[in-house]
Amino acid sequence: MSIFVDENTKVIVQGLTGGQGRFHGLRNRDYGTKVVGGVTPGKGGTDVDGIPVFDTVAEAVAATGATASFVVVPPRFAADAIIEAAQGGITFIVCITEGIPAHDEAVTYNRLVEEFPGVRLLGPNCPGIISPGKCNIGITSGDIALAGGPVGIVSRSGTLTYQALYELSSQGIGQTTCVGIGGDPVPGTNFIDCLAAFEADPETKAVMMIGEIGGSEEERAAEWITTHMTKPVVSYVAGVTAPPGRKMGHAGAIISGSKGTAQAKMEALAAAGVHVCQNPTEAGEKMVEIVKALALG
């Protein structure tokens, strides 16, 4: 099994006619994802390499039965696109857009919670989600993932998500699902959402969690793991050597005072019984060891 998306998930791409939308939308389809439509206002009736384009999400959903959307539009339009997806009947929204104002994210998140409680938003500013061999929504290169499980991956950083996939796949360890939750201040889906889904998924036997400096999501995840998680978790937190008080690209990746340091996060995770590693390669090696032990057990 996989979490959130699988081989039956039908996906539309909001922004399919743009450069990034076309490139990644078509790559997702080439991977085997059921990309059934695109949405660009004013371009309804056209197509992108055979994928029909609609003016609105509602039209696209009515025509295709899609339940998931891949939002790849510029920052100033992203919040509206997310709400339009929810209004149009989409229940799983992946938004990769980087650079959305934090206040827009806060409003969008709270609108979704209040008006569309059944809708899950992944991102913004995330690489997306891949259930290897089944469905890839977002910008992750499908060839670095390996189908068949048994590891679930959840990561705050985009490129480190790829790194984690690579470390496992190159050792012959497959993944059930790999979720990039993104590094923005108001992520629609957090570590705990993913850990809970992996804990409930029978095919996921162990979880790799990649965190980074800033915020307190890793610490909160550590608390949750202490009380709820029975499966082994391997973790790496980026930014041990990052100087405090400077923004490291992600809105989230900033340390203020002693809060949110990599050290504090690693200590919290270690205290929760998580295998805390010093770099992505070490995390990959640790996971290989764990998976082999599980297979023997």
Partner 1 sequence: MDLFEYQGKQYFARYGIPVSPGGVADTVEQAVAVASEVGYPVVVKAQVKVGGRGKAGGVKLAANEDELRGHAGNILGLDIKGHVVKRLWIERSSDIAREYYASFTLDRPNKKHLGMLSAQGGVEIEVVAEENPDAIAMLSIDPLRGLDLAAARAWVDEASLDEAAREQAAALLVRLYECYTKGDCDLAEVNPLILTPDGRVHALDAKVTLDENASFRHPEWEEFRATETEDPREKMAKEKGLNYIGLDGDVGIIANGAGLAMSTLDVVNQVGGSAANFLDIGGGANADVMAAALEVIHSDPKVKSIFVNIFGGITRVDEVAKGVLEALSRVTITAPIVLRLDGTNAVEGRAILAAHLSDTLITEPTMLDAARRAVALAKA
Residues binding partner 1 (CB under 8 A): 20, 24, 27, 75-76, 96, 98-104, 106-107, 109-111, 114, 127, 139-141, 144, 155-163, 166, 183, 185-186, 210, 212-213, 215-217, 220, 236, 238-243, 246-251, 253, 257, 262, 278-281
**Percentage helix, strand, coil for the chain under 3-state DSSP, each rounded to 5:** 40, 25, 40
Residue 242 is classified by DSSP as: P
Least separation in angstroms between CB 28 and partner 1:
12
- The helix-helix angle for 75-87 and 102-115 (nearest 10°) equals 0
Sheet holding 233-238, edge to edge: 135-138, 128-131, 174-180, 150-155, 206-212, 233-238, 275-277
Q: Given the complex with partner 1, which of 52 and 280 has the nearer CB atom?
A: 280
Name the amino acid, one letter, at 21.
Answer: G
Whether 212 and 261 have beta carbons less than 8 Å apart is answered as: no
Catalytic choice (24, 103, 228, 250): 250
Shortest distance (Å) from residue 63 CB to partner 1: 28
**Whole-number minimum distance, CB 211 to partner 1, in Å?**
9
250 catalytic? Reply is yes
Comparing CB distances to partner 1, the nearer of 232 and 239 is 239
Neighbours of 254 (CB within 10 A): 19
Measured from the CB atom, the residue of 64 and 140 that comes closer to partner 1 is: 140
Amino acid at 119: V
CB closer to partner 1 out of 1 and 106: 106
239 touches 253 (CB < 8 A): yes
- The rounded distance, in Å, linking the Cα atoms of 149 and 146 is 8
Burial category of 196 from C-beta neighbours within 10 Å (exposed 0-12, middle 13-18, buried 19 and up):
middle
We find the least distance from the C-beta atom of residue 295 to partner 1, in angstroms, to be 25
Least separation in angstroms between residue 23's CB and partner 1 is: 8
> What distance in Å separates the CA atoms of residue 20 and residue 194, rounded to the nearest whole number?
27
Tell me if 207 sits within 8 A of 152, measured CB to CB: yes
| Other CB atoms within 10 A of residue 289 CB | 13
Select 160 or 197, whichever has its Cβ closest to partner 1. Answer: 160
- The catalytic residue positions are 250
